[in-house]
Amino acid sequence: MDWKLIEPLLKEIRIEAHPENQPVNILSVPPPLKVAGAGTDAVVVRHPDFPPLAFKVYAEGRRQAKENEYAAYRRLGRSPYFPVCYGKGSFYLVLSYEEGPTLYDCLVKGIPIPEQAIDDVEKARTYARQAGLNPRDIHLKNVLLQRGRAKLLDVSEYVKPGNDGRWDHLVQAYRRFYPLIAGRRIPVWLLEMVKKAYYRQVAGDFSVSDFGRRFLPFIKR
């Protein structure tokens, strides 16, 4: 069955981009489509007739992100570190559906994050650089844990210059602080508080150790 046959259904999806770089607002998704996830540019849906596929539908005003992501996937090709991109429409991409909790979910649910997953992300970054890309915007919500291994989602910023430092800071935090919380459930409110504080302070002379120590009283309770 040709996945393009469900394009009329995809056109009925109504989403709005959030002005403050938050996940898109999902207004309506027609059945039998099911929401599998959402990011700042798009919503990801599945159709029961195509279980191996995920359809990433982009909000108005975010179509350049779709083109960027498609260009990045073409460079990445088939890799154990990234989903496969099978094609695109004017407002969506067709990707392999990837199961597993995000690293953010792992922290919330107390699922251990193995060293292997961190190593996989480092290997994925090397692979992306060798493909002529600039792996950036890698954070807790776009790395999946699959049977102890990592898979990276959302590569739209890999075509942009600059290093936001986010993954490097996460690795430092993993080495320094994760042993204190491994296997423990971290409340969402605490993760969001850390994230907001990070965005406020990351510019300039930033120390992960100094920053992280501020939150030790919360995790020792």
Single-letter amino acid, residue 69: E
CB atoms within 10 A of CB 81: 19
Torsion region of 110: left, alpha or beta (phi above 0 gives left; psi -120 to 50 gives alpha): left
CB atoms within 10 A of CB 103: 24
Residue of 2, 49, 137, 154 marked catalytic: 137
Query: How does DSSP classify residue 27?
Result: E
Count how many Cα atoms sit within 13 Å of the Cα of residue 64 in the half-sphere of its side chain: 4
Single-letter amino acid, residue 215: F
- Return d(Cα 37, Cα 143) in angstroms, integer: 13
105 a catalytic residue: no
8 A C-beta contact, residue 150 and residue 81: yes
Active site residues: 137
